[in-house]
Amino acid sequence: MEAVNLYASRLVTRRQSFTPGHRACSGCGEALAVKLVMKALGRDVIVVMATGCMEVISTQLPYTAWEVPWIHTLFENAATVATGIESARKALLRKGTHLSKAKIVAMGGDGATFDIGTGALSGAFERGHDFLYVCLDNEAYMNTGIQRSSATPFGASTTTQPAGKVSFGQSTWKKNMPAIAVAHDIPYVATACHSYPFDLMNKVKKAVAVEGPSYLHIFAVCPTGWRIPTDMTIKLGRLAVETGVFPLYEVDNGKYSLSYEPPELRPVMDYLKPQGRFRHLTPELVDKIQQRVSREYARLMGKCGK
């Protein structure tokens, strides 16, 4: 059962700010995540998007899937551009210019967030700019050919760290990007997944309601890069949560709380087995992953007072 505010309406607007007709792959979890984010944000928003899958599939000249102010920028500086917009608005307000209080939202994939744009994001958090940063995490550089990123999980086979006779794939563990955001003492940090849509949308609304920077980390299933059937997108997202691979939680002014707590964690193999990127794993490697997931989940439970 999805954990949501029982008093919140489950009626969602039909109006699309991120419209159908874009060129995402069939079953793209990232496109679904963006659709849900935009439904939660409404129309009074300015979106800054780093280079990546969502930028490429949604803005192939002369077409666009965006019906709100939208700016494409480079991999490394989505947070910088968002803070520039926020600073410019403050300057205009000081001069007495009448402006709407449009929400400012930056979006980037795991490559733009975990790797190339980390410095700009850290600086924006440290300076306390009032904007929401959304990380769309599909665990590799999918747009440019499924290369590994620091979000790629241990053991996954990618084009730059392929599994074979001399390698089992990704040899390092996934970077804990939400923990890095929390370390900046920003007001709100949360994880979400498109497979839990109301939880995701509620967290978007919470994130933009706070004063100061907020960070939302969305787990986005990629059938192409993960080598799964396109009709398994929602199921894989739920399996990631139910196995503890990607827990749903939020950190509100430093206080941790679980958004969804499975009665009992499923074996991590339930999540790994359907994916082609993990098909080469030995029982020993699966056991190593299971131990890591169990340990990290127990640590998170402790932070949540469980």
CATH code for position 108: 3.40.50.970
Quote the pLDDT of residue 227.
97
Where in 170-272 does DSSP place strands (E)?
188-193, 214-219, 249-252, 255-258
Q: Is residue 4 part of a domain?
A: no
List the chain residues with pLDDT less than 70.
Answer: 1-9
Quote the pLDDT of residue 99.
74
Quote the pLDDT of residue 14.
85
Quote the pLDDT of residue 12.
83
Q: Is residue 297 part of a domain?
A: yes
Quote the pLDDT of residue 10.
72
Domain count, the chain: 1
Distance (Å, whole) CA 188 – CA 206? 8
Quote the pLDDT of residue 61.
87
What's the domain range around 80? 29-303
Quote the pLDDT of residue 9.
60
Q: Is residue 125 part of a domain?
A: yes
Q: Is 11 exposed, middle or buried (0-12, 13-18, 19+ CB in 10 A)?
A: exposed
Quote the pLDDT of residue 1.
40
